[in-house]
Homo-oligomer: A and B are copies of this chain.
Amino acid sequence: MRGGCNWVGVVWRGRGKKTRYSSYTPPKYPTVLGPNLPDVWIPSTKSQRPQSSASFPNGQAAAVIDGKSIAQDIKVRIAGEIRRTKAAIGKCPGLAVVLVGERRDSRTYINIKLRACEEVGIATQIAKLPENCTETELLDVVSDFNEDPSVHGIIVQLPLPQHLDEEKIMTVVSPEKDVDGFHPLNMGNLAMRGREPLFIPCAPKGCLELLLRFGVEIIGKKSVVIGRSKIVGLPISFLLQRHHATVCTVHPYTKKPEEIISQADIVVSDVGIPNMVRGNWLKPGAVVIDMGTNLVKDPSSRSGFCVTGDVCYKEAIKVVSAITPVPGGVGPVTIAMLLSNTLDSSKRAFGFS
């Protein structure tokens, strides 16, 4: 994960001219959980605080953070680790997926995850339940996977049908196999500095992975997280906080969100509305991580749809220092983080490092 990676598609701000980086090696960076710094208050505002500086590889350039190539880099490392484990102890990691109902988007996401597992050598099992299954049936399936020693990670694909209590089911997944990181025990340990969760949710972990690989200095930076979902916005705010950013969370009850967003050095968007964040909402030089994956009608595409982010990309690219594209930004890295969590879990179970 600390190896070199290529930055593809760097765009010079305001010019639209693309430059390909093939030899950029990111600096050594801290872990996703952030450096454990003491909270020492310095009463005078004139006294020294840790200074941060823009640390993008390219000075004035607005770069496109290429999640695809970073994810590929991570997957290669994971595949290598799995081969090494298998050679040493003859075992491989296993992921179990629970799918309830026939939602097309859920099936698509699951297929992407299963394919990625196959690519790196993670064994998979899938339990499909009908839309009208009972809570007890679902809980039984989860409990069986909790007990199964060949399973190191369990995903219950969300959203569940309305008659099933999502919160309850997430709590039944063993915290030791909670590769999605949604169990409240893992979430509490993520929120509380000085503690370590067994798993960090995949999309937030991917977001931080991108910032860190890109060498973005987070400490002391004004950061705005737009959205506060339990699975994306909330844990991202925890991670940015653990990296000592000054974090403000913007949500639908925030007045004049654009005023707050325009002050931020780092903007992470988890909204679900295509192009909601406009270019003129962003501070010049900001870094933008777009977690949105929104399907919009696109008659020019074969499927009739295209995927777009929460941030108006063509406006933002003229303003910011760096931005993740959609697709090809956080998405692939999120999948890579799921593989990474499953690998870590299996190593803990095997007692192998």
B188 touches A189 (CB 8 A): yes
The main secondary structure of chain A at its interface with chain B is loop
Does chain B have a CB within 8 A of A76? Answer: no
Does chain B have a CB within 8 A of A219? Answer: yes
Does chain B have a CB within 8 A of A307? Answer: no
User: Which of A230, A244, A246, A273 has the largest count of B CB atoms less than 10 A from its CB?
Assistant: A246
In chain A between 238 and 270, which residues have their CB closer than 8 angstroms to a CB of chain B? 238, 241, 244, 246-258, 260
Interface string of A32-53 (1 = CB under 8 A from B): 0000010111110100011000
In the assembled complex, the CB of A161 is this many whole angstroms from the nearest CB of chain B, namely: 17
Interface string of A135-147 (1 = CB under 8 A from B): 0000000000000
A252 touches B194 (CB 8 A): no
In chain A between 191 and 223, which residues have their CB closer than 8 angstroms to a CB of chain B? 191-195, 219-220, 222
Q: For A41, what are the chain B residues with a Cβ–Cβ distance below 8 Å?
A: 252, 271-273, 276
A191 touches B194 (CB 8 A): no
Does chain B have a CB within 8 A of A16? Answer: no
Q: For A105, what are the chain B residues with a Cβ–Cβ distance below 8 Å?
A: none
Interface residues on A, range: 35 or more
User: Which of A37, A189, A195, A255 has the largest count of B CB atoms less than 10 A from its CB?
Assistant: A255
Q: For A251, what are the chain B residues with a Cβ–Cβ distance below 8 Å?
A: 39, 244, 246
In the assembled complex, the CB of A77 is this many whole angstroms from the nearest CB of chain B, namely: 30
In the assembled complex, the CB of A286 is this many whole angstroms from the nearest CB of chain B, namely: 15
Q: Which of these, B49, B189, B248, B258, contacts A248 with CB under 8 Å? A: B248
Q: For A167, what are the chain B residues with a Cβ–Cβ distance below 8 Å?
A: 192, 194-195
Residue of B nearest to A197 (CB): B184
Known A-B contacts A247-B248, A253-B246; the reply to A39 vs B228 at CB < 8 A is yes
What are 20 A-B interface contacts by the 8 Å CB criterion? A39-B229, A39-B252, A40-B252, A49-B252, A167-B192, A167-B194, A184-B185, A184-B189, A187-B192, A188-B188, A188-B191, A191-B191, A192-B230, A192-B234, A194-B230, A220-B254, A228-B241, A246-B251, A248-B248, A248-B249
Please list the residues of chain A having a beta carbon within 8 angstroms of any beta carbon in chain B: 37, 39-43, 45, 49-50, 167, 183-189, 191-195, 219-220, 222, 227-230, 234, 238, 241, 244, 246-258, 260, 271-273, 276
Top 9 closest A-B pairs, CB basis? A188-B188, A184-B188, A248-B248, A187-B188, A244-B253, A246-B254, A220-B253, A184-B189, A192-B230
